[in-house]
A and B are shown apart, each in its own frame.
Chain A
C-alpha cells in the first residue's frame, strides 16, 4: 500500500522550512464588532445572522447565566485570566451578502485555504472529502453540499441550518452541552457565531468524509463556533475538524462547543487535528487558548461515538471530549495524542459517563511532552448504579523528551455498582539512548529516529484516523517535534 498523502512532498518541505507555516495573516477587509460582551452585542450577532427567535432567547439566557459564573481555576494550567470584555465576538470578511457560488468568495480567502492545504475550488477540491471552510465568524464555502443532499445528508454552516432546518436545531441544541455546563460553554452559548451542522437521516451511511476547517484570521477576535451532529437510527458519519490561526503576539480565545447525538445503532466518528498557533517558541508570547467543550450523547441502543484527537497546537489546550452512554449497549471511545513543546500547556482527557446497561468505553491516550511544556491527562470514568455490566478499559501513557517538561496523569475512577468492570493502566515511556543509537547505526539521523519512535508510540491512535488524515497527522507530529528538538 502506498501512503499517498493529501499533502504533496513539496508541501511538506515547505512546512519544514517555517516553524509555523500557518502563521501568516490574510489581508482582507473585515467587519469586526466592537470589543466586549453585552446584550447589545448578542442582539447584533443574532440580527446579523438573521436568526429565529428561539436562538436569540437561548443566547440571552446563557448571557444571564454567565453573570453568575466565574472562570474555573482548578486546571493544571497557568495563564492570566481571560478578559471577556477585551475580545471581539464577531468578525466577518467584507463580501457580498449572499454567497451563491465560490465565485463570490474573496479570492484572497480561497488562496488562504489553498495555502493551508484545503483547496475549495471545483477543480482542486479534495476527492471524497466534503469541506466546510470557516473564516473567523463566517462560513465561506461548503463543498459537495448538493451531492450530499441527494442522499439526505445535511452538511452546512450553522447559520444556514438555523435558517433552513430550525426545527432540528431547536430539538437538539444544548441537549448535550447545556449553557450551564461550564464557564466557557456558557460564553459560547451566548456568543457563538458559526460552526457546522450535520444531520444524517435514518438508515443512511454518509458517502464521504465530512470536514470543517476553522481559521482565525483577525487579531483580538475570539472564535466561538458551535458544531452539532445528529445521527438518526442506523446511520453513520465520519467527521474531521482542522484548525489554524495566524501568528499574533496576543492570546486569542477559542471557546468552541461540539454536541453529538447518536440514536439507535448510529455511529459517529469525530476526529480532530488541532494545530492552532502555539505562541512564540522562545518567549511563549501569543498563541491560542483552546478551551473547548466536546461531548457526545449515545442516546440510542447500540449507538457508538468515537473521538480521535491529535492535539499539537495552541498555547493552552483545555478539553475533555466525552461520551454520555445512555442507550443500552452503547459504546464510547476516546483516542488521543497530545503533543506539547516549548511553552505549551495541555490539560486534556475525557469523560465517560456510563448510565445504560452493558455500555462500554475505551480510552487510549498518548501524551508527549518536550521543551518546557506541561502535559496533563485528566479523565473521568463513572459507572452509575444503572450501568449494570458496564465495561471500561483505559490506557494512558506519557513520554517525556528532555528534562524541563512535565507529564501528569489524573484519572478519576468512580464505580457505583457491583457488575461493572474497569481497568486502568498508565505508564511513562522513555526514548532510550540505545533505541536512538540503533537507528543511527542504520544510517537514520537522530531527528528522524526520534520522530519515528514517537510515531510508533502513537500508532494505536493514528490508526483510528481516517486514512486521508493519518499521514498528515503523522507528518504534523514529526514537524512539531523537529522544531522542538532539532
Chain B
C-alpha cells in the first residue's frame, strides 16, 4: 500500500499561510479584459437588486461602486461623506514583491489607485446628535475593467451601523477580484458586517476571490461579522481584528456550503492587545463533491492583554469522500490571565438523530434537511436581517441532497 504523505513534513504556520492555497487552477484561467455589451446587463441587474431590497424594506441606504468608482446616480445615501485617498502605488508594489504575503495588498493598492473612504456622520435631523444609526448596503460591481476595490470605513464614537457587502459580476466570464476593506471603529461604536454571496454567475467555475478585511476596535466597541461564503471556484478571505481599546467584543460567524469543485480559504487573525476584550468565532462548513475548505483561525494574546476571553469553533460536515476539510484553530498566548478555548470537529450528520426522525415517519432527505437547518441556525442568530440568506442556504441544501 502506498503511504500517502508518509514523508510529508510536518505542517507549520510559516509555510501554511499559503500551503493549502492551490493556485494551479488560477494559472489556467483566462480573464476578461473588457466587455461593453454586458455593462447594460449589469446596470439593470443592480436596479433590480435595489428595487428588491426597497420592496423588502431591508436597507436604508445604498452605495454602488462600479469598477472602483462610486456611482452617484445609483447610490442613495445620507449622512455618509465620501473621500478618496490616492495611493503611491508604484512604491508599494515594488516593496512588497519581496514579502510575498503582502502581494495581494500591494496589487490591490496598485490597481485600485484610490481608497474610497466612507465617513459615517451624525444625522443632523436627528434630535440625538451623538448617536448615528445606519444600515448601508455596499454593492461592488465589476465589469472586468477593474478588479480591485479598496474601501475604508470610519465609524465615529457611539455610532451604530450595519454594513452589507455584495459583489456583482458579469455573467459567464472568468474574473479575479482582489478587494480590501478596512474599518476603524472609534470608542463605543457598534458595527455589523455581512459578507453576502456574490451575484452574477450560476456557474462560478472560473472565478477567483481575494478579500482582505482589517477591523480596528477602540474602547468599548462591539463588532459582529457574518461571512456567507460563496461557491466560487477559489476564495480566500483574510479577516483580521485588532483590539486597540479595552472592554470590546468581536463575534465572527461564517457559514459555508461548498457544492462543487471549489476551494475556500478562511484566514482569521484576532489580536488581543489590550485588557478585558472578548472574541468568538463560529465557522460552520458543509462540504460536498470535490469541495475543499480551509479554516485557519489564530487568536493572539499579547503580554498586556489580561482578562481576555476567547472562543473559537469550526464544525465541519463532510458529505463526500472526494471532499477535503482542513482546520487549524490556533492559539498564541503570552498572558496567564486569560481564558481561551478552541475546538474543531469533522463528522457527518448524527446517525442517531437521523434514525430518530426517520422512525417518526420523516423521509431521509427531509430529516437531513431538518438537522442541517439546526446545524446552520446559530450562525444566523445575531443577524435577523439575513433571513433571506438563511432560506437560500436551505434551498441549496435541498437541491444538493
- Do A and B touch directly, given a CB cutoff of 8 Å in the complex? yes
Contact A421 B4 (CB under 8 A): no
Compute how far the CA of A412 lies from the CA of B339 in the bound complex, rounded to whole angstroms: 22
* A84 adjacent to chain B (CB < 8 Å): no
Query: What distance in Å separates the Cβ of B242 from its nearest Cβ neighbour in chain A?
Result: 19
B330 touches A411 (CB 8 A): yes
Instruction: Give every chain B residue within 8 A of A428 (Cβ-Cβ).
Output: 331, 333, 338-341
Contact of A410 among B1, B326, B330, B335 (CB under 8 A): B330
Q: For B12, what are the chain A residues with a Cβ–Cβ distance below 8 Å?
A: 74-76, 378, 410
Please provide the chain B residues from 12 to 71 with a CB less than 8 Å away from any CB of chain A in the complex. Answer: 12-16
A384 in contact with B334 (CB, 8 Å):
no
Distance A420 CA – B13 CA, assembled complex (angstroms): 25
Q: Are B10 and A430 in contact (CB under 8 A)?
A: no
- In the complex, which of the residues B1, B5, B343, B346 contacts A425, with contact meaning CB atoms closer than 8 Å? B343
Kindly state whether residue B323 has any CB partner on chain A within 8 Å: yes
Q: How far is the CB of A53 from chain B (nearest CB, A)?
A: 26
User: Is B210's CB within 8 Å of the partner chain A?
Assistant: no
B9 touches A413 (CB 8 A): no
Shortest distance between the CB of B177 and any CB in chain A (Å): 28
| Distance, CA A351 to CA B333, complexed state (A) | 23
Q: List B contacts of A73 (CB < 8 A).
A: 14
Residues in B whose Cβ lies below 8 Å from that of A320: 10
Partner of A405, one of B4, B331, B336: B336
Q: Across the interface, do A413 and B328 meet the contact criterion of CB distance under 8 Å?
A: yes
Question: Which residue in chain A gives the minimum CB-CB distance to B12?
Answer: A74
Shortest distance from the beta carbon of A299 to any chain B beta carbon, whole Å? 10
Task: Using A351-B10, A418-B348 as known contacts, say yes or no to A406 and B332 having CB atoms under 8 A apart.
Answer: yes
Cβ 8 A contact of B343, one of A75, A407, A424: A424
- A72-B9, A75-B12 given; A415·B325 CB < 8 A: yes
B324 in contact with A416 (CB, 8 Å):
yes
- The yes or no answer to B318 lying at the interface (CB within 8 A) is yes
User: Is A422 on the interface with B (CB-CB < 8 A)?
Assistant: yes
Q: Are B3 and A355 in contact (CB under 8 A)?
A: yes
Q: Given A413-B327, A420-B346, A424-B344, verify A178-B336 contact (CB < 8 Å).
A: no
Cβ-defined contact, A415 with B316, below 8 A: yes
- Determine if A80 is an interface residue (Cβ-Cβ < 8 Å): no
A353 interface hit (Cβ, 8 Å):
yes
Residues A344-359 near B (CB distance < 8 A):
351, 353, 355
Interface stretch, picked from A17-25, A247-255, A269-277, A396-404, is: A396-404
Of all chain A residues, which has the CB nearest B320?
A418
CB-based contact B4/A384 at 8 Å:
yes
A382 sits at the interface (CB 8 A): yes
Interface residues contributed by chain B, number (CB under 8 Å): 47
Which B residues touch A423, using CB under 8 A? 343-345, 347
Chain B residues near A430: list those with CB within 8 A.
336-339
Least distance between B354 CB and chain A CB atoms (Å): 14
Question: Which B residue sits closest to A403, measured CB to CB?
Answer: B336
- Asked if B321 is at the interface of the complex by the 8 Å CB criterion, the answer is yes
A419 touching B337, Cβ below 8 Å:
no
Is A452 an interface residue, CB under 8 A from the partner? no
B7 touches A180 (CB 8 A): yes
**Are A355 and B344 closer than 8 Å at their CB atoms?**
no
Within A62-86, the residues touching B (CB, 8 Å) are 72-76
Q: Contact at A403–B335, with CB atoms within 8 Å?
A: yes
How close is A381's CB to chain B, nearest CB, in angstroms? 9
Q: Contacts A398-B331, A418-B318 known; A426 to B342 CB distance under 8 Å?
A: yes
Contact digits for A175-209, partner B, Cβ 8 Å, 1 yes 0 no: 00010111000000000000000000000000000
CB of A363, distance to nearest CB on chain B (Å): 13
Whole-angstrom distance from the CB of A134 to the nearest CB of chain B?
27
Alpha-carbon distance between A430 and B336 when the two chains are bound, in angstroms? 7
Q: Known contacts A378-B10, A427-B340: does B333 contact A415 (CB below 8 Å)?
A: no
Let me know if B303 is at the binding interface, CB within 8 A: yes
Nearest chain B CB to A295 CB, angstrom units? 9
Q: Is there a chain B Cβ closer than 8 Å to A326's Cβ?
A: yes
Of the candidates A74, A401, A427, the one whose C-beta lies within 8 Å of that of B14 is: A74
A408 & B3 in contact (Cβ 8 Å cutoff): no
B319 at the interface (CB under 8 A from A): yes
Residues of A within 8 A of B334 (CB): 405-406
B345 A74 Cβ-Cβ under 8 A: no
Distance to closest chain B CB from A370 (angstroms):
9
Residues of A373-387 contacting chain B, CB below 8 A: 378, 380, 382-386
In whole angstroms, how far apart are the Cα atoms of A426 and B297 in the complex? 13
- A419 engages B348 (CB within 8 Å): yes
Q: Does B11 contact A (CB under 8 A)?
A: yes
A412-B324 in contact (CB<8A): no
Task: Determine whether the beta carbon of B330 is less than 8 Å from that of A409.
Answer: yes
The verdict on B200 contacting chain A, using a C-beta distance below 8 Å, is no
Complex interface: chain A residues within 8 A of B337 (CB)? 403, 430
Task: Please give, as numbers and ranges, the residues of chain B lying within 8 Å of A14 by CB-CB distance.
Answer: none
8 Å CB contacts to A: which residues of B82-130? Answer: none
- Nearest A residue (CB) for B295: A413
Q: A74-B14, A380-B11, A412-B11 are in contact. Are A424 and B333 (CB under 8 A)?
A: no
In the bound complex, residues from chain A placing their C-beta under 8 Å from that of B322 are 385
B329 touching A426, Cβ below 8 Å: yes
Q: What B residues does A31 contact at CB under 8 A? A: none
Of all chain B residues, the one with the shortest Cβ separation from A347 is B12
Contact among B10, B318, B338, B341 for A426, CB-based, below 8 A? B341
Could you tell me if A414 and B7 are in contact, using CB atoms closer than 8 angstroms?
A: no
A355-B1, A416-B324 known; A424 vs B329 contact (CB < 8 Å): yes
Check A128 for interface membership: any CB of B closer than 8 A.
Answer: no
- B338 contacts across to A, CB distance below 8 A: 400, 428, 430
Which residues of the other chain, A, contact B7 by a CB distance below 8 angstroms?
A: 178, 180-181
Q: Within the complex, what minimum Cβ distance (angstroms) separates A410 from chain B? A: 5
**Residue A324 is within 8 A (CB to CB) of chain B in the complex:** yes
Measured between beta carbons, the chain B residues less than 8 angstroms from A406 are: 332-334
B328 and A400 within 8 A (CB): no
Q: Would you list 5 pairs from A and B whose C-beta atoms are within 8 A, ordered by A residue?
A: A74-B12, A400-B335, A409-B329, A413-B346, A426-B342
A interface vs B, CB < 8 Å? 72-76, 178, 180-182, 320, 324, 326, 351, 353, 355, 378, 380, 382-386, 398, 400-428, 430
The 8 closest A-B pairs by CB, nearest first: A74-B12, A400-B336, A413-B327, A409-B331, A422-B346, A421-B347, A415-B346, A412-B11
Q: A355-B3, A408-B330, A425-B343 are in contact. List 7 more A-B contacts (CB 8 A).
A: A182-B9, A400-B338, A403-B335, A407-B333, A408-B331, A418-B320, A420-B346
